[in-house]
Structure 1
Amino acid sequence: MAATEEVPLDDKAKRMRDLLSSFYSTDHTNSSNYGVVSSKYATLDTINSPSFDADHYMNLLVQKSNMETLLQRHVEMAAEIKNLDTDLQMLVYENYNKFISATDTIKRMNNNIVGMEANMEQLLDKILSVQSRSDGVNTSLFEKREHIEKMHRTRNLLRKVQFIYDLPERLAKCIKSEAYADAVKFYTGAMPIFKAYGDSSFQDCKKASEEAVGIIIEKLQGKLFSDVESIQTRAEAVMLLQQLDFPVDNLKEQLFEKLEQSLGDLQLDFDEKASNLAKSDEFGKQESPDQIPAAHELSTREYVEAVRAYRVIFPDSEQRLIKISHDLVTRHFETIQKRIRIHISSADLLHKLRLIWEDVLLMDEVLPEARVADVCLEATNHAVKQYIASAFSHLLQDIADSLIKVQSGQKEVMKEDHPLQAVLEASKKAMIQGSMGVLLEFRQLLDDNLALLVRLKDLVIVWVQEGFQDFFRTLHNQFLIISGKTDSASQQLAFPDSTQGDKTVAGLVLVLSQLSVFIEQNAIPRITEEIATSFSDGGARGSDSGPAFVPAEICRIFRSAGEKFLHLYIKMKTERVSVLLKKRFTTPNWVKHKEPREVHMFVDLFFQELEGALSEVKQILPQGTSRKHRRADSNGSTASSRSNPLRDDRLLTRSNTQKARSQLLETHLAKLFNQKMEIFTKVDSTQDSVLTTIVKLCLKSLQEFVRLQTFNRSGFQQIQLDVQFLRNSVKDKVEDEAAVDFLLDEVIVAAAERCLDPIPLESPVLDRLVQAKLEKTKEQSSPSS
């Protein structure tokens, strides 16, 4: 039944206590307190209170409950009454057993106490007897004890008097053996006697002792200002002078100057030990690995002991010692920074940092207030960041050195059969090996367990990523500067001034183009993979800042740079030919030109430039697709003397100049309407594409120069002869013969339009002059071959 459910433990325990109280009638306070409560406030829950009113409770219960509830409550209360009776009976039984046990215990105690009183009386009699005998012994020995104590005091006094008389001799022996600490101990021990009796009984001893102490003070001052004495010896001298009441505060400034001077010796020791340690690693560790650090640690411990002594001697010198300790750490890191600016390996840097950290730990033991570890951590932060930046700077310089060989024309490069190819390969090697080398150096910093570097791990990762991002941006800027694509003269350059502006070698621009392609396609992916493997766990950079190294951006920059440099190379080669063409067309008087007898010399110069470009692109660029764009004779321009014999016949039969010019104009208009040809297409990084583009631009320049002149018949025929030779020689060197034919036709048309009497050479004469030039060119090239 529900009425038999267990009552909560607290309520049950409280009820039991109330039952016991009512049973034994021991607590009437609660009843009196609860009696003041009016029964009219009683509720169904106050049945356990002392002021419980049964009648009122029943009235309330009847009013609020139905018959079923009353029956249920009856059953519950009957069960509770039964449980309470059972609990009360059990409590009575348990307490009865405890009362019986307590009664037995009291009986046993009474039995044990019987007879104890007699024993206590016997003990008291014995104590009184011992006390009386002790008083008798003390009374009999009192006079002798007084005499013994008096003799003992007399003996001590005689020993002190003898020590005072022997003090000058003792001091002399200490001076001779340089045992100044013992001398000061003896003299300070005799000072109370000298103050009391120095002017009477021990006047001579006091005078002799003071003379000896004066000598000791001079000796201690000599040690204090001696450069050969150690810091500990000088500090001990100050302590002894202080014990002799010598005004050491006057020596404080000089002593600190000596301490600061010793920092210079310690710094030189640090430089020498660190350099020797690096050399020992470099040359097979000829010295013991622990020998050099132990020697440096010995010097540092001497300095630490001096600091400990100074703190004792000058309690108010803490700030000065803190500044000196900070200066020592700062000087160490200045040495590291100097080495970093020159060049330093990661192993050498780690050796130096480890030596500094050992010094810091030693200084923290004696001067924790200086917080030298925090100063060291901050300095290490700057040093490692400078080292990473210096490593990228040296990598940039190595790449620059490999490139400027072309510009400076170094003999070892010029002796190469393919100098541009050698420079490109050297630059690629410097890029890949240099990048992997600096990553390996940086990895050693991360793998080292030095406490300084462990705390900077995340920052090192961020610095490496940012360093590569800035390195490639700077490298791109340097490429622009060397190619003459920027006017930022104030920018700090890694290249010599001879590589700027119009002095830039065209071959070097071509090398830059292919090096940019190599960086985009090979270097960036490889570096990105290495960074993702070893340098991707940094958390020092905020999440809002984004990644420090963005390879996609760098690839985009160098992809664009490769295209720009390729077009710049073509432009530079074209401009050289344009200078040649300008000189060719501005020098003679074309209106008074003589009858052509041979191909003009400018054609040879043009082919020399073309051969130079061909030689350069063969070293750097791939061959490309061997696809020739040709055209049939029927599709050619009607202005060509070889492709349109009908036009030649008609021109030869006409003697009227005006009619010839009209026909040239008609044929040119017919060509424009009948033929549509794309001349300038996208330039690819291949030999054929670059060379063809150069030829097209040169021929276009030739056309423009022709348009600026006015020719007589002989001048026009000279242009016709030169163009015909070019037509026969250039086609084999280009991939787009159709476009070249078209441009050559344009040159002839332009010359005809600017000619006063555009009568062309007869075909046999034209062929004979061209053939003669070909044979002459063949004869000139035979001896050289």
Structure 2
Amino acid sequence: MEEKKSNSLDIDGQNFNPNLYLEKLFKECSLRQVMDHEAEVVKDTQTLHSDMQTLVYENYNKFISATDTIKKMKTDFKKMETEMDLLASNMDSITSFSDQISTTLQGTRQQISKLSGVHTLLKRLQFLFKLPSTLKNRVEEKNYAQAVQDYLHAQRVLTQYGNMASFKGIQSDCEVILKELKIKLRGKFSNADATAKELAESVDLLLQLDEPARELCMEFLCCAEKRLGEQLVLLRDQSEQRDITEFVDLGCTGFLSDLCLVVASFHDMFINRMNENDDDVENSEIFENFAAKELNSFILQNMKKYFDLVKNKVDSEQDNGDTVVLVNALDRFFRRLQAMNTLCRNVDFSEKGIEIIINAGKRQCKMHLNLLKMHFAESMTKVRQSLNTTKLITQDKDDKNLNELLVSLMMTIVEKIKGVLQDLVAFIQPDVTFAQKAQFRDSFCVDNVREGLIVCFIHHLTATARSFCSNNTMDIKNPPTLMLLLSKFCIDFQTGNIHYLLSKTDELFGINSKGTIALTKESEINTTMQESAQELLNYYVRIQGLNVSQMLRKSVETRDWLHTIEPRTVRAVMKRVVEDIAAIDSTVALLYEDQGNNTEHSSDSSRKTHSISVSRHQYKSNWSTYTPNHLDSTLVSNMHKLFSERIEIFSTVEFNKVSILTGIIKISLKTFMECVRLKTYSKYGLQQIQVDTHYLQLYLWRFVADENLVHFLLDEILGSAVHRCLEPVLMEPSVVDIICERG
């Protein structure tokens, strides 16, 4: 405040300097802002003037009212003085008359007192003789309280003179009537329509009649047990017919309300009343402990039955229920339990209620997890059907379908997960009472939502993806393209969605991922997803390699290589192999780029010329190697192969197109080579192998990262054929080139 007073730019301060204020305003604000500020100052000034004027008028009115009040008080005080003088004179007259009456009656006072005592005694005797009929009339009129008061009024006399013949009959008649009265008072306990006030009055009257407090206590709880049991039976019968909200409301207004009424009545009738009336402190404490123990046992026994009904209803409702409706019902249930805690101080029902709510949240997460699994299974079925019915690799207009399938699959899964998270956020809304409990938030948010739902579903994605390649045999319902799509799905899901989903979950549910040790780490999930993608891609390469190998194997095994004619063209199976490899290349290119291939291939025309020149050199060396007169050269060549780098046929595939195609080609050519080694060839059979390998060499180089790998394997195939040939004579390379170009 001192700082505000000393500020010369504060328009409300005492040291306000208008010149400095205007100078600062002109310097910092535009013309439009200055005009707006001026209008604002004018408006504030007018408002202040109006307020000051109103304040003056109000104070003036108060002053006038105070003046009128003072004038009126002067008039009233004058009138009051006159009345006080008149009252004083009247009191003097009354005093004098009283003295005269006392003097006159002084002689007969003792006689009047004696007559009054006799009259009182006669009235008591008359009351005693009429007591049985009076009590009977009171009972018939249901005026039980007055009947007890009449009896207690005469009880001391009856007890003292009960041995006298005249009083003995009266006492026996009263005892019979009191016995009937006690039965009717106890009947209030089992009356469902009896109010708490009536019950309290009945217990109070029975206690006044010296009935044992413990016996009354147990009898009251027994009758209350029957009434609450009827409420529980009604609640169980209505469970299937009502939704969760109606069920909770019925339980709160029925069973819980009756239980609270019983507890409150019990405290009023026994514990509180005994503490107030019992002069023996020790006996009072003993009974209080007994009553509290019996009451707690009664409450726990009945609440256990109620909790079982609520748990069964919540479990049955969650299969097809709305989360918001469920949360609202559970919130009402928990609020009522907290209200009961204030009444039943020795028993805490919040823990049991939280346990039921935690189980409900857990089941809700499991239900959503099953829905996510079903949605993913349906999505996979649609993808599989789409891949089986659409020719993605042959039509240009369908080339984008594979990417569209991948994006659609990923987007539907992510959106579905986000929808599930938004649905479960209802459990932790600020207006939900049980959401404020740390026990619930830790269990629900961390264990059920993050770990039990999101992380578990991501593991399900990887497990489902791996299940497609768990067997060595390929299911005809699952096209190889599905493995490729799933591998890309795992890679993209790992890089783009896992961190997003986990962060979204932590943000929505307030989870501190850094402070919680038990959380599954994101790196572990990424590693699992990466391994699944790798396994799927390796499986895709093996399946496609085996498909191409199957064609090559059949083409070798079904041909009579000893009686074949001179080759004039490339075999159709080789053309089919090249076409299939090209088709696979087109399909893979839709999902994977050439990230792993750093070397640029030359154009087709230049590459073909190079291939021919390389082939000529190789074939010339092959003539010199495989002619029977050059066994030493063959030995040297074989020794060189022993020390050359070994080719891994089933090695791990990298996540790029060239590595995938290289793996498929390695498997195919390796199979081709092993099949060639099992056959025996004539001269023309060898030459056909020569033409086929050269054709493959011309077209397969562009699909691999290292073309020397193709040269090496094809050279091995041709070399194996030469070794298995009865007349190893190769064709001229130029003739082979012509045949391949024509093919």
TM-score bracket for the superposition, by shorter chain length: 0.5 to 0.7
Structure 1 residue 522: Cα displacement: 0.9
RMSD of aligned residue pairs (Cα, Å)? 5.7
Alpha-carbon distance in structure 1 between the residues aligned to 2:601 and 2:366: 52
Q: Select the residue among 726, 732, 738 that pairs with 1:756.
A: 726
Aligned to 1:712: 682
Structure 1 residue 433: Cα displacement: 2.3
Aligned to 2:69: none
Alpha-carbon distance in structure 1 between the residues aligned to 2:529 and 2:302: 51
Alpha-carbon distance in structure 2 between the residues aligned to 1:508 and 1:442: 33
- CA 1:606–1:454: 2 relative to 1, 3 Å: same
2:299 is the alignment partner of 1:321: yes
Alpha-carbon distance in structure 2 between the residues aligned to 1:665 and 1:231: 115
Structure 1 unaligned spans of 5+: 1-128, 175-181, 278-291, 488-498, 775-785
Structure 1 contact 574–694 (Cα < 8 Å) conserved: yes
Aligned to 2:409: 427
Counterpart residue type for residue 263 of structure 1: L
Aligned to 2:661: 691
Counterpart residue type for residue 601 of structure 2: H
Deviations 1:152-199 (A, max 9, x none): 4366457646545646xx74xx7xxxxxxx376688778889998999
Secondary structure of the corresponding residue to residue 519 of structure 2? coil
Alpha-carbon distance in structure 2 between the residues aligned to 1:354 and 1:437: 22
- CA 1:718–1:273: 2 relative to 1, 3 Å: same
Aligned to 1:576: 547
Deviations 1:258-280 (A, max 9, x none): 63352243356678765458xxx
What TM-score comes out, normalization by structure 1 length?
A: 0.59
Alpha-carbon distance in structure 2 between the residues aligned to 1:510 and 1:561: 12
Structure 1 contact 516–558 (Cα < 8 Å) conserved: yes
Aligned to 1:520: 494
Aligned to 2:258: 302
Aligned to 1:567: 538
Asked which structure has the greater RCO (Cα within 8 Å, sep 6+), the reply is 2
Structure 1 residue 364: Cα displacement: 2.4
Structure 1 residue 478: Cα displacement: 0.7
Q: Select the residue among 475, 482, 494 that pairs with 2:467.
A: 482
2:420 is the alignment partner of 1:452: no
Aligned to 1:617: 588
- CA 1:241–1:718: 2 relative to 1, 3 Å: farther
- CA 1:439–1:166: 2 relative to 1, 3 Å: closer
Q: Select the residue among 723, 743, 750 that pairs with 2:693.
A: 723
Structure 2 contact 148–205 (Cα < 8 Å) conserved: no
Alpha-carbon distance in structure 2 between the residues aligned to 1:679 and 1:208: 110
Structure 1 residue 749: Cα displacement: 2.9
Aligned to 2:333: 356
Deviations 1:92-133 (A, max 9, x none): xxxxxxxxxxxxxxxxxxxxxxxxxxxxxxxxxxxxx99999
Secondary structure of the corresponding residue to residue 370 of structure 1? coil
- CA 1:670–1:293: 2 relative to 1, 3 Å: closer
Secondary structure of the corresponding residue to residue 704 of structure 1? helix
Aligned to 1:77: none
Instruction: Spell out the pairing of 1:448-597 with structure 2 (5 A cutoff).
Output: 448-456=430-438, 457-463=441-447, 464-467=449-452, 470-471=455-456, 474-475=459-460, 478-479=463-464, 481-485=466-470, 505-530=479-504, 533=507, 538=512, 546=517, 548-593=519-564, 596=567
**Residues 198-207 or 697-706, more deviating:** 198-207
Instruction: Spell out the pairing of 1:32-43 with structure 2 (5 A cutoff).
Output: none
Counterpart residue type for residue 425 of structure 1: V
What TM-score comes out, normalization by structure 2 length?
A: 0.62
Counterpart residue type for residue 302 of structure 1: D
Counterpart residue type for residue 629 of structure 1: H
Counterpart residue type for residue 298 of structure 1: T
Whichever of the two has the greater Rg, that structure is 1
Aligned to 1:263: 232
Instruction: Spell out the pairing of 1:624-643 with structure 2 (5 A cutoff).
Output: 628-629=600-601, 643=614
- CA 1:336–1:475: 2 relative to 1, 3 Å: same
Structure 1 residue 319: Cα displacement: 0.9
Counterpart residue type for residue 557 of structure 2: T
**Residues 470-479 or 412-421, more deviating:** 412-421
- CA 1:191–1:587: 2 relative to 1, 3 Å: farther
2:287 is the alignment partner of 1:332: no
**Residues 500-509 or 375-384, more deviating:** 500-509
Structure 1 residue 371: Cα displacement: 1.7
Alpha-carbon distance in structure 2 between the residues aligned to 1:263 and 1:465: 37
Structure 1 residue 515: Cα displacement: 1.9
Alpha-carbon distance in structure 2 between the residues aligned to 1:140 and 1:350: 84
Structure 1 contact 468–549 (Cα < 8 Å) conserved: no
Counterpart residue type for residue 380 of structure 2: L
- CA 1:524–1:758: 2 relative to 1, 3 Å: same
Structure 2 contact 612–737 (Cα < 8 Å) conserved: no
Aligned to 2:42: none
Alpha-carbon distance in structure 1 between the residues aligned to 2:580 and 2:391: 21
- CA 1:708–1:369: 2 relative to 1, 3 Å: same
Instruction: Spell out the pairing of 1:190-205 with structure 2 (5 A cutoff).
Output: none
Aligned to 1:68: none
Structure 2 unaligned spans of 5+: 1-99, 271-289, 393-397
Structure 2 contact 466–535 (Cα < 8 Å) conserved: no
Alpha-carbon distance in structure 2 between the residues aligned to 1:771 and 1:637: 11
Structure 1 residue 357: Cα displacement: 0.8
Structure 1 contact 716–755 (Cα < 8 Å) conserved: yes
- CA 1:397–1:423: 2 relative to 1, 3 Å: farther
Deviations 1:210-257 (A, max 9, x none): 99999x799989x76xxxx67979x96997999699999799778636
Aligned to 1:145: 116
Alpha-carbon distance in structure 2 between the residues aligned to 1:694 and 1:440: 45
Alpha-carbon distance in structure 2 between the residues aligned to 1:230 and 1:716: 109
Alpha-carbon distance in structure 2 between the residues aligned to 1:502 and 1:334: 45
Structure 1 residue 704: Cα displacement: 2.7
Q: Select the residue among 613, 621, 628 that pairs with 1:658.
A: 628
- CA 1:296–1:737: 2 relative to 1, 3 Å: same
Q: How many residues align?
A: 593
- CA 1:332–1:423: 2 relative to 1, 3 Å: farther
Instruction: Spell out the pairing of 1:71-220 with structure 2 (5 A cutoff).
Output: 138-150=109-121, 152-153=123-124, 156=127, 160=131, 163=134, 166=137, 171=140, 182=142
Structure 1 residue 360: Cα displacement: 0.8
Deviations 1:564-596 (A, max 9, x none): 332222122112333333333334443344555
Counterpart residue type for residue 460 of structure 2: L
Deviations 1:339-388 (A, max 9, x none): 45x36665344213212212313432443333212222344344445544
Task: Indicate the percent of aligned positions where both proteins have the same amino acid.
Answer: 17
